[in-house]
Amino acid sequence: MTDTEDRPAGTPAVSRGGRRGKAADRHPLPGWAETALLVATALVVALLVKTLFMQAFYIPSGSMRETLQKNDRILVEKVSYWFDDVERGDVVVFDDPANWLTQEDGQTADGTITKMLAAIGLYPTGGHLVKRVIGVGGDTVACSDGRVEVNGAALDEDAYVTLPTQACTGTWTVEVPAGHLWVMGDNRNHSADSRVHIGDPGGGFIPVDDVVGKVFVVVWPSSRWQLLNRPGTFEDVALADPAGFVSTAAPFGLALTMCLPLYRRLTTAKRSYDRRT
């Protein structure tokens, strides 16, 4: 039986290929519109990555030689500090609300592409510094006989402080406030770091909240490609803050002391049971 015979009178005919017909009626986007949509999507993804996960910077000065050299391109990751604190030995990029940067040290976009990226916030244009974290909140950092000490333990800095003959000059001692950092450049003779700003209102300390992220790789030039790791000297248990150890150990010791009577009672009860059986 045909559709015509089956259809009630007055009912308009419907093509069996109706669905395909509707799809065929849809016009594809013109090439320029597809390109614009692709570029817009890429920009949104790039902004999300920059904001939440990773950001590119370049090194404008020699304050971190030889670890980082002038004009190195680096990547800074932000995920580590979602769940963990900034640690001693980390190389970090941080904002500069205290105006440590001089005009010649500031970052500037130096090309058509980088200027375009800077205009939409995908390329840093200034107001950031990169240094190594030497002390965290609660630490006592000192310079003694040309050596940097943290909580009384001397750092072995030969692995990264390569240019000066001494890791520090003069004699000074600072106590890092909670929520702050003491930072120093690896090129100790040419770094305007926390030491230079001891007399400033902030005392040379950097708020942890100003940290953008941790430098983890040099990506350009290709001859300089390297992953950055925390130097082994910062793993020395002697650097641990004694007060921090006490605050951690005290609750454990208190719990152990409270459990001892119960342990003795259980032991005595077991012995009595063993004698009866």
Collapse the DSSP code of 180 into the 3-class scheme (helix H, G, I; strand E, B; otherwise coil) and give the result: strand
When mean pLDDT is compared across 1-10, 60-69, 140-149, 220-229, the lowest value belongs to: 1-10
pLDDT for 94-139, tens place per residue?
887 677 776 345 555 556 655 555 554 445 555 688 899 999 999 9
Please indicate whether residue 63 is annotated as part of the active site. Answer: yes
pLDDT for 142-165, tens place per residue?
998 889 999 999 999 988 998 888
Structure tokens at 270: 């077991």
Q: According to the model, what pLDDT value does residue 48 have?
A: 53
When mean pLDDT is compared across 135-139, 166-170, 250-254, the lowest value belongs to: 250-254
Domain presence at residue 140: yes
Share above pLDDT 90 across residues of the chain, in percent, rounded to a whole number: 19
Q: According to the model, what pLDDT value does residue 176 have?
A: 94
Q: According to the model, what pLDDT value does residue 63 have?
A: 87
Q: Which domain holds residue 208?
A: 36-244
The residue that leads in pLDDT, 58 or 25, is 58
Q: According to the model, what pLDDT value does residue 78 have?
A: 83
Cβ neighbours around 110 below 10 Å, total: 10
Q: According to the model, what pLDDT value does residue 115 have?
A: 58
160: left (phi over 0), alpha (psi -120 to 50) or beta: alpha
Query: Catalytic pick from 50, 61, 78, 131?
Result: 131
| Distant-in-sequence contacts of 52-58, Cβ < 8 A, 24+ apart | 52/78, 53/77, 53/78, 53/79, 54/78, 54/213, 55/93, 55/124, 55/212, 55/213, 56/123, 56/124, 56/219, 57/93, 57/107, 57/124, 57/128, 57/130, 57/215, 58/107
Domain presence at residue 120: yes
Cβ neighbours around 22 below 10 Å, total: 9
Query: Which pLDDT band holds residue 223 (cuts at 50, 70, 90)?
Result: confident
Q: According to the model, what pLDDT value does residue 25 have?
A: 57
Query: Catalytic pick from 63, 78, 191, 214?
Result: 63
Domain presence at residue 253: no
59: left (phi over 0), alpha (psi -120 to 50) or beta: beta
The residue that leads in pLDDT, 34 or 234, is 234
Domain presence at residue 10: no
Average the pLDDT over 267-271 and give the result. 62
Residue 172's DSSP bridge partners are: 143
Domain count, the chain: 1
Domain presence at residue 73: yes
When mean pLDDT is compared across 5-9, 38-42, 157-161, the lowest value belongs to: 5-9
Domain presence at residue 30: no
144 close to 169: Cβ distance less than 8 angstroms: no
Does 226 score more than 80 pLDDT? yes
Average the pLDDT over 11-38 and give the result. 58
Domain presence at residue 259: no
> Which CATH number is 43's domain given?
2.10.109.10
Q: According to the model, what pLDDT value does residue 151 have?
A: 93
Share above pLDDT 70 across residues of the chain, in percent, rounded to a whole number: 57
Q: According to the model, what pLDDT value does residue 184 have?
A: 93
Domain presence at residue 43: yes
Pairing of strands 73-77, 211-220: antiparallel
Average the pLDDT over 197-209 and give the result. 89
Before 87, cis peptide (omega within 30)? no
Of the segments 115-119, 169-173, 252-256, which one has the largest average pLDDT value? 169-173
CA dihedral (113, 119, 125, 128) positive or negative: negative
